[in-house]
Chains A and B, each alone.
Chain A
C-alpha cells in the first residue's frame, strides 16, 4: 500500500499571531483541528482507495472530502448509531471508514454500536470525534464530552489518541491509519495554543517527554492540559522544583515503559486532563504507575457540574479545577511532602 509521507504540519498551517495591542502576549495558536485533520484525511484518501468518509451531517466535510471524492463520501444524516453500524458493514467488505461526529455522540449515544459492531469485530473503522472535553464551550453541556475517554478505554481493543500538540493532528491521523483494528481520535473544535518549547515528534503509542525534570512528573493529555503542565513546569522551576512533562497522547495502547521511566525516582505524579476523573488519563496512569512504583498520584480532572454558566474552553476548564495554578499547587504539595519526609 502506498503511503503519503506526513508533511510537517507546522509549515502547512501558518500560526495566527495577531494580538490586540496593550495585552500580554499569548501563546501562538495552532492550526484549526478540523482543518488539520481533513487535510490528512484527503492525503490518505488519495493514497489509499479503501478510505471512505462517513459523515453524520457535521458540516464541512461535504465541501472538502465530498467535493474531491464524491463517490467515497456518504452522509448518513443525523443518525450516529447508524453511522457506526454502516461503517462496520463497509469495513467488513474491505473499506476503511472514517466516521465523523462529536465525541459525546460517538461514545455515549452510539457507544453500544461502537462497542458491539466496530470494536467487537476489530474492524478498521476510525472514529473522528470532535468537540472533545469542553471544546464546545458556549454550546453548553449537551455538547461537552467528559466521559469519552473512560468509554473508549473500557472498550479495550480500540486505539485511543488525544493529540496534545495541535501540530501533530496530521501525524496522528496518518499513524492511526496504519493500524489493522479500530481507532478513536479525539479532537477539539477551535484552535488551541501551540505548546512552547521543544516539540519532539509524534509517535503513536509512545509518550512524548517535553521537559526533563527530576523532582516531580506532570502527565497531560490534550492541548490545554499539556499547556497547563508546561506553564506549571515553568513556574515550578522558578521555585527550584524541576518537573518532567509528559504528553501521554495515546491512552491505548499505553506506553508503559515510557511512563514508568518518566515517573521513576520523582516525588510524585500529577495528571492533567480535560475529562472526568473517572476512567480517563488519571486512571490510566494510576493503573500502570501504582503497579510498579510507590508514588503518590494527584489527578487533576473536571470535577463538579459543567455547563451552568457560559465560559470559554480555557476558562471553563479552569473554573472546574484544571488550571496551571492547580498543577503548580499539586506538584508543590507532592514535592514538599517528600522533602519533609527526608
Chain B
C-alpha cells in the first residue's frame, strides 16, 4: 500500500496560518558520552531550579541517565522521542542544548519573560514534536507515530519517557492496550520509576505494582532495569521487532544531589543560590563564581 513517508506541502489555508519549526527529535551527529551528557543534564536542571520560578528538579534528575542514554546513544535520524512526563522539561532542554538544537544561553531564560522555555515544553520548540506537560498524552502520541511507521513498513524507532505517577492516568492504558494489540515494533516506553509523586509515594497514593506484570498482561515485553546504570539502560532500551517494550527504570528522585534524593519536596523546588552551589558541587562541578 502507498503511505506517506514525509509530510507533503499543503495549500495555504486562511483558517490555519502556517507555523513551522523543525520538530524532529534531537539526535547526536557523533557518538556522545552518556555519562557526560547525564552530568550536564543534572547541572542544568539544578541551575534552572535556581531560576525565578524554580523547577521540577527531582523528576528531571531521576530521568537524567535515561535521557542521556537515549539521546547520546540510541536515537538515530528519523527516530522519534516524546517526553510524556513533560514536567522534566529541564532535562529535555539540556539535551536540546547539548545536541545543538537550542543555544546554550537560552537555558538562562528558563521561565523568564520572553523565553521559549516554559516549565513544560511548548508547541513549536525545535526538537519537540508535541507539547507535553498534561500527563497521559505521550504514550498515545507515540503509538500514533509507531502505527504510522508500521504502516509505512519502516524501521524507525519511537521512544517515550513516562513518569510513574503518570501511569495513574487512564489514557496511558488505552494506548498500552492498542500498542499491545497491534504488536507495534520499535516502540519503547521507558517509565522513570522513582516511586514518588506530589503527595508522597506512588504505592501509598494509588499503587502501581506489579508494574511489569501489568505491561506484560497488555501484550508488552516488560524489562526492569537500574535506571542509573548506563550500560544496563543501553541494553534494556533496545527496541524489539516483535512488539512494544516497556522499560521500568528504577530510579531515585533527585538523584545526584544529596539534599534532594528521595525527597518528596524535591518534586518542585526553587533553590536559593547557596543550594544551587551545593548541588553543583555535589555533581562534581567546581564551585566558582555566582549562579544564574
A-to-B contact residues, CB < 8 Å: 1, 49-50, 52, 71-72, 74, 76-77, 79, 81-82, 84-95, 112-113, 116-117, 120-122, 124, 157, 159, 178-182, 205, 252-253
Contacts and interface: CB of A to CB of B under 8 A. Distances in A.
B214 interface: no
Interface in B122-173: 123, 129-131, 134, 136-137, 139-149, 151-152, 170-171
Nearest to B1: A71
B171 A93 contact: no
A121 B11 contact: no
Given A74-B147, A77-B178, A82-B140, 18 more contacts: A1-B8, A49-B4, A50-B4, A77-B174, A79-B178, A81-B170, A85-B175, A88-B130, A89-B141, A89-B143, A89-B146, A89-B147, A91-B144, A92-B148, A113-B137, A116-B131, A157-B16, A180-B16
B115 interface: no
Contacts of A116: 131, 134, 137
B144 A81 contact: no
A179 B11 CA distance: 8
A234 B148 CA distance: 53
Contacts of B147: 74, 86, 89-90
A85 B171 contact: yes
Contacts of A180: 10-13, 16, 18
Contacts, number: 139
Interface string B170-188: 1100110110010000000
A115 to B, nearest CB: 9
B4 to A, nearest CB: 3
B2 A49 contact: yes
A112 B132 CA distance: 12
Contacts of A205: 14-15
Q: Which of B141, B152, B175 has the most CB of A within 10 A?
A: B141
A120 to B, nearest CB: 5
B5 A85 contact: no
Given A92-B145, A93-B149, A82 B7 contact: no
Contacts of B4: 49-50, 93-95
A203 to B, nearest CB: 13
Interface residues of B, number: 45
B16 A76 contact: no
Given A76-B178, A87-B144, A92-B145, A117 B130 contact: yes
B145 A89 contact: yes
Given A86-B143, A116-B137, A179-B15, A93 B175 contact: no
Interface of B: 1-8, 10-16, 18-19, 23, 123, 129-131, 134, 136-137, 139-149, 151-152, 170-171, 174-175, 177-178, 181
A49 B3 contact: yes
A93 B178 contact: no
A90 B131 contact: no
25 contacts: A77-B177, A79-B171, A82-B143, A82-B174, A85-B139, A85-B144, A86-B140, A86-B178, A87-B144, A88-B140, A89-B140, A89-B146, A90-B144, A90-B145, A93-B7, A95-B3, A112-B134, A121-B130, A124-B10, A178-B13, A180-B10, A180-B11, A181-B13, A181-B16, A205-B15
A137 B226 CA distance: 55
Q: Which of B19, B174, B177 has the most CB of A within 10 A?
A: B174
Contacts of A84: 140
A92 B146 CA distance: 11
Contacts of A87: 144
Contacts of B136: 81
B137 A117 contact: yes
A82 B16 contact: no
Given A81-B174, A121-B130, A181-B16, A72 B1 contact: yes
B141 A85 contact: yes
Given A88-B130, A116-B131, A94 B178 contact: no
A94 B134 contact: no
A95 to B, nearest CB: 6
A93 B139 CA distance: 16
Contact of B144 (A88, A122, A179, A182): A88
Contacts of A178: 11, 13
A132 to B, nearest CB: 20
Contact of B131 (A71, A120, A252): A120
A310 B221 CA distance: 49
A95 B148 contact: yes
A193 to B, nearest CB: 30
B148 A90 contact: yes
A84 to B, nearest CB: 8
Nearest to B158: A89
